[in-house]
Structure 1
Amino acid sequence: MTRLLILRHAEAASTSTSDLDRPLTRHGRHDANRIGVFLRTHHWIPRKAYVSTAMRARETFSELCTQLHAPPKVSYEPTLYNASLNKLEALLRTIPADLDCVLLIGHNPSIAELARALATDGPGVDLAHLRRGFPPAALAVIEFDSPFGSSGAMEKGHLVRFIMPDLLPKA
Structure 2
Amino acid sequence: MDTVLRLMLLRHAKSDWGDPSLDDFDRPLNPRGLKAADMMAGYLSETCPPPDLILCSTALRTRETLAELLPFLTVDTDIQLRGELYEDSELDYLSLLQNLDTSAETVLVIGHNPAIEETAALFYGSGLVEGYDDMAEKYPTGALAIFTFPHRSWSDLGEGSGTLERFVKPRDLEDDPEL
Question: TM-score, structure 2 length as denominator?
Answer: 0.87
Give the CA deviation at 1:97: 4.8
Distance 1:13 1:150 in 2: 36
Distance 1:141 1:122 in 2: 10
| Residue 91 (structure 2) pairs with residue 85 (structure 1) | yes
Give the CA deviation at 1:79: 0.7
2:149 and 2:157 in contact (8 A); partners too: no
The percentage of counterpart residues that share the same residue type is: 31
Matched residue pairs, number? 170
User: Which structure 2 segments of 5+ residues have no match?
Assistant: none
Q: Which runs of 4+ in 1 moved over 6 A?
A: none
Moved more, 148-157 or 62-71: 148-157
Equivalent residue number for residue 9 of structure 1: 12
Distance 1:33 1:116 in 2: 25
2:149 and 2:161 in contact (8 A); partners too: yes
Give the CA deviation at 1:153: 4.6
User: Which structure 1 segments of 5+ residues have no match?
Assistant: none
CA RMSD of aligned residues (A): 1.8
Q: Of 106, 126, 151, which aligns to 2:156?
A: 151
CA deviations 1:43-81 (Å, max 9, x no partner) are 321111111110000110111222232362211111111
2:151 and 2:157 in contact (8 A); partners too: no
Shift in CA distance, 13/159, structure 1 to aligned 2, threshold 3 Å: same
2:9 and 2:146 in contact (8 A); partners too: yes
Written as runs of structure 1 = structure 2, the 5 A alignment for 1:130-169 is: 130-151=135-156, 153=158, 156-168=161-173, 169=176
3-state DSSP class of the match of 1:158?
A: strand
Distance 2:47 2:81 in 1: 25
Written as runs of structure 1 = structure 2, the 5 A alignment for 1:89-128 is: 89-128=94-133
Question: TM-score, structure 1 length as denominator?
Answer: 0.91
